[in-house]
Amino acid sequence: MVKKNIIIAVIGGSQPDEESLKIAEQVGKLIAERQAILITGGMGGIMLAASKGAHEANGLVIGVLPGSDRNEANKYVDIPIVTGVGEARNSIITRTCDCAIAINGSYGTLSEIAYCMIYKKPVIGINTWKIDAPIIEAKTAQEAVEYALKKVRT
């Protein structure tokens, strides 16, 4: 069982482009292979793709759901946290993770990046929001997970 492990968030929207989905799946896979736990918002799009990647690499996948129905979680979520607090759950994902990897993403992702900054959690970005904040840019899934683990361990 994965224990006392690093928790990495993958944040990103529910309607991404194909390329971003592929990257998210690979990021999920690499997180699992590096023995870290994946946390996402538990829904579709980037969240589903990362969960799939981690699940298929035998990782542990936490999904922090906005709604009140566990069945809204994508099918790769091992541990659905059913918050019922709507988009306020973005605060919980970011408080819980050690580090976040933002892939693409819309306003939900922007709120999560903002929360990461408030809570002083490093953010690695792949093709995501360009804002005046210390987001560490990565070009590939491999780079992103490398950067994330390096940040968490220092």
**Residue 79 makes contact with a copy of itself by CB under 8 A:** yes
To a copy of itself, the closest distance from the beta carbon of 8 in angstroms equals: 13
Closest to a copy of itself by CB, 116 vs 142, is 116
Strands (DSSP E) found in 1-43:
7-11, 37-40
Among 15, 68, 140, 142, binds a copy of itself (CB under 8 A): 68
- 3-class state of residue 75 by DSSP: coil
Identify whether the C-beta of residue 41 lies closer than 8 Å to the C-beta of residue 108.
yes
**Smallest separation (angstroms) from a copy of itself to the CB of 37:** 7
Judge whether 111 and 16 are in contact, CB under 8 Å. no
If one asks whether residue 81 binds a copy of itself (CB under 8 A), the answer comes out as: yes
Tokens of 71: 């069945």
Q: Which is nearer to a copy of itself, 15 or 58 (CB)?
A: 58
Q: Closest approach of Cβ 44 to a copy of itself, in Å?
A: 16
Binding mask 92-121 for a copy of itself (x = CB under 8 A): x--xx----------xx-xx-xxx-xxx--
- For CA atoms 131, 99, 120, 116, the dihedral sign is positive
CB of 59 to a copy of itself, least distance (A): 8
**Do the beta carbons of residue 52 and residue 44 sit within 8 Å?**
no
- Residues making up the chain, counted from first to last: 154
